[in-house]
């Protein structure tokens, strides 16, 4: 079964070396969704949603909200943000689950999907 949780944050970024409008500092209301897969345990859950909430609060919202993402990721494309978050997901396997996807919305109509 797949369990997913979302978090949102507001942050600015720019794309260095990019020849287009995103070369200038600008902001977005980002949304990140994390999906993990596992077996339903005897307590009826794959994992408690509060564990996903805590991870997203500490490793996404707490890291990026109201900041300049370039201070953390030198080339902060949505793709690179997804990979940054995946690097912090080692706990998923420890919890007996598997990372299925990370979805990063840059706008309400545009997202990247990192699977596995």
pLDDT at position 56 is 95
Annotation says 89 is catalytic: no
**CATH number assigned to the domain comprising residue 80:** 3.30.479.10
The domain total for the chain is 1
pLDDT tens-place string over residues 43-52: 999 999 999 9
Annotation says 22 is catalytic: yes
**Which residues of the chain fall short of a pLDDT of 50?**
none
Marked catalytic residue, from 22, 37, 51, 89: 22
Which of these, 103, 99, 77, lies nearest to 88 by C-alpha position? 99
DSSP per-residue letters across 27-68 = EEEEEEEEEEE-PPPTTS-SS-HHHHHHHHIIIIIHHHTTSB
Marked catalytic residue, from 26, 29, 66, 79: 66
pLDDT at position 98 is 92
- What CA–CA distance (Å, rounded) separates 60 from 33? 10
pLDDT at position 91 is 81
Marked catalytic residue, from 28, 37, 51, 106: 106
Query: Could you list the residue range(s) of the whole structural domain that residue 96 is in?
Result: 1-7+32-105
**19 occurs within a structural domain:** no
Instruction: Note whether 73 and 84 are within 8 A (CB).
Output: yes
**39 occurs within a structural domain:** yes
């Amino acid at each position: 079964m797949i369990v997913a949780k979302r978090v949102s944050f507001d942050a600015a970024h720019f794309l260095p070396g990019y020849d287009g409008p995103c070369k200038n500092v600008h902001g977005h209301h980002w949304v990140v969704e994390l999906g993990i897969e596992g077996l339903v345990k005897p307590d009826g859950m794959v994992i408690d949603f509060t564990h996903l909430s805590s991870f997203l609060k500490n490793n996404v919202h707490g890291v990026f909200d109201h900041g300049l993402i370039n201070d953390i990721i030198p080339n902060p494309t949505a793709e690179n943000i997804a990979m940054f978050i995946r690097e912090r997901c080692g706990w998923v396997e420890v919890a007996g689950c598997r990372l299925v996807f990370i979805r990063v919305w840059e706008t309400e109509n545009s997202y990247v999907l990192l699977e596995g």
